[in-house]
Structures are given as structure tokens and as C-alpha cells.
Structure 1
Amino acid sequence: MSQSTVLSLARPREPNLSIWIDASCSFPDFVADFKVPATGLAENSRALAFIIDDAAFGTNEDSRQWIIEDELCAGPPNWDEAGATFNDSVHDCETMKIRFLNAGHGALASTGGTLSVGTSAE
């Protein structure tokens, strides 16, 4: 999607640039996943301490996963040092995430609500 957007913006302005971009640049797919717990009073208080009045304010847990398709024109940068994983098939990783992680979270949420349990930890 980013490739088609960049090319559609470049083509009317400079046709040769769009040809160069298409031949010389890569637009790897990626999957990003991190946990976003429900926002509570502690999080809202922390936001207000910084004078942030945002009804959609939220936080995330330290657990993060970033999988990047290993199709970079200049080779992968050192993002693996920050926890990124380079993989030949991001599609397979995305499918696994959707089928296993999201399904498990949905099952926990459904049964937790029925049992009046507020968090996964409970």
C-alpha cells in the first residue's frame, strides 16, 4: 500500500522519479504487536500531570513484537538490536498472530466478562 501511494504521488510530478523509485526502493511489509491495557485512574492521572487532556489517552505494556519483511533494498538496518525480527514471510507471522493471539485474547475477554473478571491476570 505504501509503495502504490508513493508512486501515485511521484508519477504526476516527475515520471522519471516514479520509475526510479519503483526500480530502486523497497517497501517491506511488517507486523507490529503490543499490548494496550485498559486505561484506568492511574493512567489518566499520569496524563493530567503532564497537562494532557486526551479522552483517548492510553498506555502500553513493555511487551512488543515487530516483524519486518526481509526485502530491504540496502539490507536490514540494526533494528534487531532494538527487538525487531526480520522474516521472509510476514504474511505467515500475521496469520499466526490473527489466528492464535487474537483468538486467545477474544476467548479470555468473552469468558472473563461472563465470569465478571476484570483483567487477564485475574
Structure 2
Amino acid sequence: MKSQGLTLLELLAAATLLGLLSALFLLSLLQAQRGAVSTQAQQLARHAATLAEIKRSVTNTPYSSPTPCVPALLVDLPASVPQCVFRQDENTTYVLTQSSSGKFFLFDGKGLQGPLGALPASW
């Protein structure tokens, strides 16, 4: 009489396949999370630049030296963006943000630069 169960080799093959699929799934999830963190830092840079421009138009005084975004512009920073600094000259607002993954993003009033691996020298 033949047994109807699976052999040990078949069970090991199935477990290995499930392990590989799980690892691939987790890897893609981590990549998506890193992308979301970078996107949030980019969006915060643009948002802070808009707020700084509004504040300049109301007070008629630019922030000529690097100033933390909190509390000058924002109440708090999201956990994925530990650093946000801005400064202004007579025509432009510059915002530097850092994501929790360590990447820097610089908004110069025209466009976004980044991800930068290190803090730009001008800051």
C-alpha cells in the first residue's frame, strides 16, 4: 500500500521556495519604503519653500542665514525627515532637507536637486 503524504524532500523544497518568495517580497517592500521616505523629503522641501515665500511676502524680510524650518515655518517635521533648513536671498528661497535614509535634497526655487550623498558645501 502506497502512502499518500509528502516526502521530506518535497516539504524541504516547498519551504525553500516559500522562503525565497518571502525574501523577494520583503526586499521589494524595503525598496518601496526607501522611495517613500525620499519622496516625503522632496515634497517637504517644496512645501517649506512655498511657506518661506509666503512668510517673506508678509514680513517683507528674507531669512538670509540658514534657519531651521521648525519653528520658523512648520510645527513639526515628519519622522522620515529629521532635518529641514532654509535660507533666502533677494530673489530665491533655498531649502535643504535630509531623509531618514541619509539622503539630502536641495530645492533652489527652480528645481529639486538630489538625492545628494553629502551635505552641500554651501550649507
The two structures have a TM-score, normalised by structure 2, of 0.23
The two structures have a TM-score, normalised by structure 1, of 0.23
More helix by share: 1
More strand by share: 2
Pair member with larger Rg? 2
